[in-house]
Structure 1
């Protein structure tokens, strides 16, 4: 029987989501011909959740699309009774969650009602990508903790902060774009009282003997060796909390943890992010999650590469996201211009506006040469992120003589 048309739409969807778990146990769903419950299916690898192929839980990692009710990655969530928290483990109220914030959600079965995906949330964690005081801020770009932040037009929260507003502590939600070595912001807000500086990114250096770690151009020092977790390897997605600057320019490390996305085994997964590792279109990692796309349907296959923006739907089997659908958008090279702040001829690196660039024999100089590189001169060009490198690899440079 269909729900009564007199029911309030939001309450109707909530009731349907709450009923999803009961419908699953009925081996084919409830009596509603409007709720399309996923039926047991064979899996490409021959493995199903509980041996039946029925997925009894789901995991979402994406930006919050809307609130009232909360929608993450296109799935509308019933959050009554769910544990809501931030990346520091502090409890949140639902009215503190805003569009553009990035969230990780554990939920029950995703059902489809009148073209809408619905699920009952069990836990929802909202975490920032960056917190700190920008050393540069205009309408398009911020540099925070040495990390370049791209500010798309009409990004939620940016109005009122003001261009050139250095000196104000900000919170930034978004995605890592490895091709451009930057964070693409999805929301910006002023920091709250007591917020510590933090950064989520790829570990580009670790020296346990010296007690140092590096993410991009940020270097942090751990006074206590216990702050450096065992097993961390270069390229791991990590979350750092840092304190005041030391005399050598590094920051005091207050906390460090591995922070890759870990969807539960056997769950249905809706994951949006950037490609952090790429072996082939069939084998890659999205925000640190290993993906097997050998049986997937693709949209934008030619765009799939390291740094590409992508969304993957599938199931977690043996610690791998076995994809049923992959949507990819091309990662464009970074076009930059600015004043040369620092130059290391031996290492062939250049610092421009907080970005670290590397040139080589493959770099094409336009109307100039490497001999023209000088601190203070204007530089423009194109660069790309290369896996395992802290610096962007310059493909084209033009030096103002």
Structure 2
């Protein structure tokens, strides 16, 4: 037995020595090899914190921490406590999407409790006490809020993130949100704050790759965000909606949930599932729980938008719709009969298996609709849309 062990130790020593010789011959010192092995960890954890009717996302990779928004005042202490439990002592990147209280208040608490290296935000001023508190806390750490141009990349952990907006400052504070695309290997996450349709259009016009595995629908799932154009450029597999249970805004709205359902995007919701965690290894994403795939609206009386005319201009989806929230449940726009089709013509969407009697049916994108006869559609295997037939 002693001779066998002795031979095994000699063999192990020989193989280790041979490995070191080969590494040295290849120009890789043993210390450098050890450092390279340590940096090979491609794990990136993305925590979508349950901060009620707000937004806060913590990203951790290779000992670095990124905090995107911090929720409202009522959840500030929760965010601080959560970060402490994740062994955060330094925040390498703090990003304030914009300066509304439900996004920036928790950042003030974090500035007061952690060392922060970089702060990123939009270049506008908000006349509120919470904005002033944020600026004061940033200054107290000897920092300035950075305003990087869209397209700017920042290395982070085992990957990077790219700033996507804003390109210019709008009178709509939501469209001033700093949006980012987070990359880890072939996995990508898209955060857009409260960016609405105009801001999303500007992002789509950048000409950058926006494809992602995970998207956080803008403005807590509001119908004013998550346009068809953005979804078609991102084509996410998952959506994580950050909103509060029973919130007074009715988030998420039916229009947004219908789009996610139509595209087969799996859904997580903090109002139903609490904090959601995704862990990427650079090629796959694992979750701390299964998607709830609840596509219902936050307000059960939300019936979505209704078509205002059968063949209005399809250049802008918003011009063809009347919001039930704006018109009221009993308005004529919501009780009018469906318009009759012209002749025997129907409309086909770019994707899907149904034909429609109007080009702006709520189950399709009017911008990509094409017209053909009903007989042609049926011959091609299309069936009638249950919503507009």
Normalising to structure 1: TM-score of the pair? 0.28
Larger helix share, 1 or 2: 2
Larger strand share, 1 or 2: 1
